[in-house]
Amino acid sequence: MLTLIQARRGSSRLPDKVSLDLVGRPLLVRQVERVQQARLAGRVAVITTTEPSDDPLAELCQQYGIEVFRGSALDLLDRHYQAALHFGETEGVVKIPSDCPLIDPAIIDKVLGFFADTKGQYDFVSNLHPATYPDGNDVEAMTFAALETAWREARRPLEREHTTPFFWENPDRFRLANVTWETGLDYSMSHRFTIDYPADYEFIKAVYEALHPANSHFGLDDILTLLKQRPDIYALNADLAGVNWYRNHLDELKTVSTEQTKEKFN
């Protein structure tokens, strides 16, 4: 298994968010640490761009002993495919975005465990269609064969930029499966653990400062317990819950409804 964390320094809303400090280390490094805690993640690497602006990110990875591959800035589908070729992965490839520094390793293992236990039955397995976990626990696993098909045939810009829509937008062509939160709850639109705005950083920073010093392996349950005890932390980015990239492509996506996204109002 090859787990790829896509990252870049450029961001119009929160520039160089991957380098922001989380209890003494860069945010990207903290996320890699959490992904590496997953038993089934296999080889973990960061994939960034060939843009000169991402030279410091590649150097950061080298500094912390993190494997890194550099590819297309805008064609994320190509970047994932070329990275799989580079690392010699011919079976399973996992996509995790770098804006998930609170991702729970146990959730990664649940999705990848299902993918492994049903090997040969599905081309694409994720926990996003529909999503039920708090936003920021994104795990998408695909066979290399499916990735190669998408790389060869996907044409629409959003399919190239976001890597995986070609799978879940073509359920007649690919065998798809979704892993839901075993609690039966759906916090995907009410709890935001991802980072895209300054308020998200304040939230994530507060969670790390509260939990990480005592337990660097803190998980989803620990975070939810903290938020019940500290509603002030939950409130830091609560107004952003439900804001995601879908809102910009509702007229193009066949399988995403308005109930799965919302506009940012401030």
245, pLDDT greater than 90: no
Tell how strand 21-22 and strand 25-26 pair up. Answer: antiparallel
Q: Look at residue 101 in the predicted model and tell me its pLDDT.
A: 98
User: Confidence class of residue 265 from pLDDT cuts 50, 70 and 90?
Assistant: low
User: Confidence class of residue 186 from pLDDT cuts 50, 70 and 90?
Assistant: very high
Q: What is the value of pTM for the model shown? A: 0.95
Q: What does the alpha-carbon distance between residue 216 and residue 154 come to, in Å, rounded to a whole number?
A: 40
With beta carbons less than 8 A apart as the criterion, state whether 165 and 171 touch: no
Q: What is the CA radius of gyration of the chain?
A: 17
Region 9-16: mean pLDDT is: 84
Helix-then-strand count for the chain, H and E: 10, 9
Token code pair at residue 70 = 């550099």
Q: What does the alpha-carbon distance between residue 122 and residue 170 come to, in Å, rounded to a whole number?
A: 14
Q: Look at residue 261 in the predicted model and tell me its pLDDT.
A: 79
Q: Look at residue 250 in the predicted model and tell me its pLDDT.
A: 65
266, pLDDT greater than 60: no
User: Confidence class of residue 246 from pLDDT cuts 50, 70 and 90?
Assistant: low
For domain 2-194, give the CATH superfamily: Spore Coat Polysaccharide Biosynthesis Protein SpsA; Chain A (3.90.550.10)
Q: Look at residue 15 in the predicted model and tell me its pLDDT.
A: 86
C-alpha count within 13 angstroms, C-beta hemisphere, residue 26: 19
User: Confidence class of residue 249 from pLDDT cuts 50, 70 and 90?
Assistant: confident
Q: CB under 8 Å to 75, separation ≥6 — which residues? A: 160, 161
Q: Look at residue 251 in the predicted model and tell me its pLDDT.
A: 74
Which alpha helices (H) appear in 93-249, and where do they start and end?
105-117, 144-153, 157-161, 165-168, 198-211, 220-229, 231-234
Average pLDDT, the chain: 95
With beta carbons less than 8 A apart as the criterion, state whether 45 and 83 touch: yes
Token code pair at residue 40 = 């089934």
With beta carbons less than 8 A apart as the criterion, state whether 71 and 57 touch: no
Token code pair at residue 24 = 């003494």
Residue-wise pLDDT for 119-175, tens only, equals 999 999 999 999 999 999 999 999 999 999 999 999 999 999 999 999 999 999 999
Reported as type and span, the H/E element at residue 69 is strand 67-71
228, pLDDT greater than 80: yes
With beta carbons less than 8 A apart as the criterion, state whether 41 and 94 touch: yes
Residue 119 region, left (φ>0) first, then alpha (ψ -120 to 50), else beta?
A: beta
